[in-house]
Amino acid sequence: MTSPDIPLDQFGPTAARTHMDHKPPRPETLTVDMHSHMRITATDEFVKPHLPPEGAVTAYRVSNERSREIYNQIHACRVTEWTDASTRIAAMDEMDIDVTALSCLPPQMYYMVDADVGVEASRITNDGLADKIAEHPDRLVGLGTLPMQDTAFAIAELERCMNDLGFHGVQIGARVGDDELSAERFEPLWSRCEELDVAVFVHPSSFVSPRFSRHHFANVIGNPLDTTVAVHFLIFDGVMERHPKIKFYLSHGGAFAAAYSGRMDHAFGVRPDCRDHIDQLPSTYLKRFYVDCLVFDPDQLEYLVKKFGADHVVLGTDYPADMGDCRPVELVYQTNGLSEADREKICGLNAVKLLNLDVSRFSH
């Protein structure tokens, strides 16, 4: 097979939909991208001597040679996009994005290192994000990373992110080692997130399986599967029941859970063990999550809005990853059944509320 026609260093249209043949309209209100990653190179340099023998990216390890080759080519072509704030601003302008919530490259959460190393790695990453934001404070806001290996350390860094660095939320993995997000040890963290009214961005690190070694399946299937499992534990183990005010935001359109919630409700009805920690239908809790519109297809976005409501869907590009969508506003305007008020919510106003943003601070 030959390489794709679109150069690896370009950000072109998605093959998942037919695009407008003209520049799409945009809302008059602020547009906000909730799902955009920045690599902090100082963190990688610090962590490298402390990594376990298997390395940092497990999904990469189980990929076949062809997938690894393409992965390396794409990342080599996008170093500037991953690391340079001014390049990011130019891309935002092209995408009609007024404000971006920056989170670190997900592998930089580094949950596999010892807790004391994880604390320092998180601080380096968050300080690095703060420096990037300081270059363009009217366009960028921060979603910090936490050393989830140790809950007390995670709470301390959460408070530093919110109180000292002025961030507006945090990004966490869909699991932490062998611990699900519903593990009892995380209860104090979720309580503190409620108290601080923090947006908690749940991002996958891939559901690793040798079955996913070809066709980029570690990402195509593994990433949404990782989030799907996390969502089920958060619901069925009662986290959403015990923390009714917590604001979890899910990448990739809420993953597979968003498309098959009827199965959860059926299990609740027929299985007593599916009612051990909850007393409402699982879909009731599911609708309390926020999801991004990174589903590529207008029909799927239309379904998400019907399932979650227009007030629980936000923009997400996943820039500058190859699995991102660099025309998110276009997708919203291609989706049937949305009023202009709905579009304004999805394109930015929901994120403003989720992140507790002061609109007057930002350029528009």
Question: Mind listing the domains of the chain with CATH numbers?
Answer: 32-357 (3.20.20.140)
Mean pLDDT of 8-18: 80
C-alpha 242: how far from its chain's center?
Answer: 23
User: Quick one: tokens of 209?
Assistant: 């399986």
Least confident of 9-18, 182-191, 304-313: 9-18
pLDDT in tens, 260-293: 999 999 999 999 999 999 999 999 999 999 999 9
CB atoms closer than 10 angstroms to residue 269: 10
- The burial of 221, by beta-carbon neighbours within 10 Å (0-12 exposed, 13-18 middle, 19 or more buried), is given as middle
CA distance 174 to 93: 31
CB atoms closer than 10 angstroms to residue 86: 11
Q: Which helix (H) or strand (E) holds 327?
A: none
pLDDT in tens, 179-217: 999 999 999 999 999 999 999 999 998 787 889 889 999
Question: Which residues is 313 bridged to in the sheet?
Answer: 291
CB atoms closer than 10 angstroms to residue 256: 17
pLDDT of 27 over the 50 cut = yes
pLDDT in tens, 49-68: 998 876 545 555 677 888 88
Mean pLDDT of 67-72: 84
For the CA atoms of 264, 268, 270, 276, the dihedral, rounded to the nearest 10 degrees, stands at 140
pTM tops 0.85, yes or no: yes
CA distance 29 to 31: 7
CB atoms closer than 10 angstroms to residue 109: 25
Q: Whole-number mean pLDDT of the chain?
A: 93
Three-class secondary structure of residue 160 per DSSP:
helix
